Structure 1
Amino acid sequence: MSSLEQPKTSTRRLATVSLIFMAVGFVVSLPFKENAWVFWLQSGFEAGLVGGIADWFAITALFRHPLGLKIPHTNLLPKNRERVIESIVHMLETDLLNKESIVAKLQHMTLADRVIKILRSILVLPAFRATVTELLVGLIRKLPKEAILEFANTRVTETIKAYPSKRLAVRAMELNEERRLDEWLMDQLLGYGQRLLEDPVIRDQIGRLAYTAMIDQEKNTFLRVTARTVQKVYSEEKLSLVIQGVLLTVIQDMRHVHHPNRLAILDHLRRNLAQLSIDEERLAKIDAWKASEVDRFDFVPVIERAYDAGLIELERYLTSDAFWTERAMPMLSRALDDWEQHPTFKDSSDQWMKEQLVRFVEQNHQKIGGLVRENLNRFDTETLIHMIEDKVGSDLQWIRVNGALCGFIIGLILGAIKVFVG
C-alpha cells in the first residue's frame, strides 16, 4: 500500500466504523427506550446514524450509484463527465490563463531577480559544469577543419603579398634594435658550427677536403711547394686536428661580445639592414618576388600542424579545473552581477520577460485548454474517479465522520429537549 492510499483507506475505515458505531448504539438502545437517559442517547445514535447514512449516500452519489441502485440524481460525475471537463477547460482559458489574471499575478513579481537566483544556483552544480564542458568540446570538434585551413592559407598568402617590404625591413630593424636579434643569430650560428666541428665525422671530412685541395694545386708553384712541405709534416689525420683546433679557436674568439671580427660582422649586417629599408629598387624587387612566388608556397601543412596542436591544447584547457575556476565561473558570475546591478537593463529585461509570458499565454491558452481536454479524455471514467478519490478521498470520508458526529450531537440536543420539555 502506497503512502497516498494509506491515509485514504484509514479515513474510510474510520468513517465506516463511526457509522457502524451509531447503528449498533441505536439498535442496542431500542429495548430500553422507556428509560429517559437511554432515550436521550438513542436520539443521539439515531440522528448520528441518519447523518452518517445521508453523507455516505451524498458522497457515493457523486461517483456512482449507491448500492448499485439507479436512483435519480446519483452517479453525478460519470453522467456529467463532459460538462465537468469543459468547465475545467473553460475556467483554465477564461479565468486562470487570461491576460488580466496573469498581469495581476506578475505585477508584484520581479522575474529578473528570480531568474538570476536560479541561474546562480545552477552555476555551482557539477552537472552544469559537465554539460557546458561537453558542449564546448563538442563545438570545437565539429569545427569545419578543411574550410578553416583553406581560409587561413588564403589569408596568410594575401597578407604576405600585401605587406609592404619597406615596412617589413623597418620592422626587422626595430626588432633587431629592441631584442638584439643579430647577436642572437650569430650565437646560434657559432654554436651550430662548433657542434659540427666537434663531430669526428665532420672533422675528418674537413681534413680530407683540405688535403685533397693541396694535392690539386699543381699550377701554382708556391702553393705546390707549400702543400708538399705540409704533406711531409702532417698526415691527413693530423691535418684534420689542426684545422679543427684553428676553427674552434676562431669560434671561441667570436663568442666574445667585444671581439673585432664579431663587431665587424654585426656592423656589416646592421648597415645592410638599414640600407635595405631605404633602397627602393631592392624593396621593389622583393615585392615583385612576393607577388609572383608566394603562391607557390604551400602553407597548409604548417597551418594544419598548428591547428591540430592548438585544438588539442584548447580541449585540454576547456576540460581542466583552471578553465572553470579561473575563467568560466568568474565570467558567468560577473555577467549575472552586471545584470543584477545594471540600472536599467534589469528592469527592462524583467518587463520583457513579463510581456513575453503574457503574449505566449494569449497565443496559446486555447492550445493549453485543448491539451488539458485531450489529456482528460485519455482517461476512462473509472480512472478519473480513482484520481479524484485519491486526491480528495480523505476529505470526503471526513465528511462522513463529521456527519455522524454532528448528527449524534444534534440528536443529543434534540433528545434532551424532548426529555426535559416533553
Structure 2
Amino acid sequence: MCAVLPRFEVVHRLRPVDLLAPHAVAVRTGDAGAVAMPAVAPYVTVTSPAADGPGPALHLGGHRLGMTLTNGSVTITVDGDGDRRELRSRRFHRAEGPSGTALTLTGTHVTAWTLEQAGWVARARHDLREVLDTRDEAALADLVVELPAGGGAAGRFGQLGLRDTRFVTAEDGTPLRDGDTAWLTATSAGPGFFDTAHTSVWSLDLGTLDVSHRADLFFRRPDRPGVFGDHATHLVRTDAGGWLVATSTWGDFERPATRAGRRTPAGLRVTLAGSGADLLHGAHVLDTRELPLPTDGLASIATWDPHLVRRDDGWLVGFVSARRFFDFHPALAGGPALDDLRLLDAATDRTATEGTTLVEVDGRTVVLASDGRDSPRRLRARFPAFDLTMAERGTLDAPYPTNLPWPTVAAVDGGWVMATFDGRRAGGTLLGYGTHGDLVLMRSR
C-alpha cells in the first residue's frame, strides 16, 4: 500500500535548546531584587550571570527555591515552613568554568544549571512533590522571581529537545498552512523523565525547514486540580474555526521502578479539549474531558498518542494501548462522534510500537506507526503501514533515527515532508533518559 510513497531522505537536523523560551521572556534586568512574575503553569526559568554565592531563586507557595554556586559546586536550597534544606548531587555538582546560572521549575522538579562550554548542564535536581503543590494555580499567580547581583532574565521554560512531533491539521487530516508555513505540535523535553515535559507549538517553514517556537499548551484535568504539562498532542483546526486538542496525560507519569514494568492501571489516558483562542501563539491552559477510547479485549492498562481524522461517515482515532509498562501496540477506533467510538482493530502482535498516525495516500486512509528498537528482531526499527483492519500492508521507506521516532508525514506541494526526532540527550549526565531529541526533517526523493 505504501509503495506509492517515495523514499525519504534526511535533509535537515536541528536541536533548539532554550531553558528560557526566547518569545516568552517576562523579566530582564541588570539589577538584583525580587520581581512578581505570575505564571500560568509550573514551567518557568530564571537565569543570571555566574558568580559565587546565592544565584537565582523562585518564591512559590510560601517556599523559596534557590541555588548557590560555591567554588564551582552547585547546591539547591529549599526554604519554607521554618525548614531549610541544602541539596547537592554527589557525582555531578561541580561545574567547569561556568559563565551563567539558571534555575528551572518543570512540573514538580526544580533544577539548578550552569552554562559551560558544552552548553547548559544540570548540576542538581530535586522533586518537590513532598514539599509543596507546584501545580496550584493560585500559588503560580503569586510567583516571584529573585535575581542576584548582576540581574538576569526570567520567563517560561523552553525545551532541551523535541519529540512526539505532529503536524497541526484540519479535521480531514490535511496540514494547516499559511502560505509556506506549516505548524507542528511537539513534546518539549524537560530535565528528566516525561513528567518534566510539556506541549509546545512550532511554525515550520516548508522552504528552509527552519522552525520557530510559537506557543505552549498546558492542561487542567477533569478529575484533579492543578495545571499539568501533558503532552504527545494532536492539535486539530475544526471546520467551525475553533480547535480540538487531544493529548496524553504524561504530565505526572512516574517511570516504573523496574524494566519489567507494572500491569496495573496508572491513570495514563487521552483527554480532549476545545478552544476558540489562538492556540498557535502565546501560552494557554485548556480544560479537558476524557476522550473515551474503546479497548475491548485488549487487556489495556493505559492509552496514549491520539491522532484524529474526520471522514464523511465520522471520526477515526489512532492511538496506542499498553498491556503493561512498557508493552504497547497501535490501535484504531472509529465512530460517528468522538464520544461514540468503537474499537476497529489493533496490531496486538507488536510490543514496542507507538506514534499511530493517520494519513491519506491516493484516496485511502493509511495507519502509520513506529516499531521501536525494543521490538522483536523482525519488526525492529521500521515504520509499518496498516490498513483500517490494522493488517500490515507495507513499510515507509525512510531512515529510522534512534529511539522511537514517529512517522509524521504530510503531502506538501507535490511531494512529502516528514518531521520526526531521535533520542539524543542534552543537559548533562545527571538527567538520564527523557531529554531527547534532535528534530529530524526529511523530504521525499
Relative to the length of structure 1, the TM-score reads 0.14
Determine which structure has the larger strand proportion and give its number. Answer: 2
Pick 1 or 2: higher relative contact order, CA cutoff 8 A, min separation 6: 1
**Bigger radius of gyration:** 1
Relative to the length of structure 2, the TM-score reads 0.14
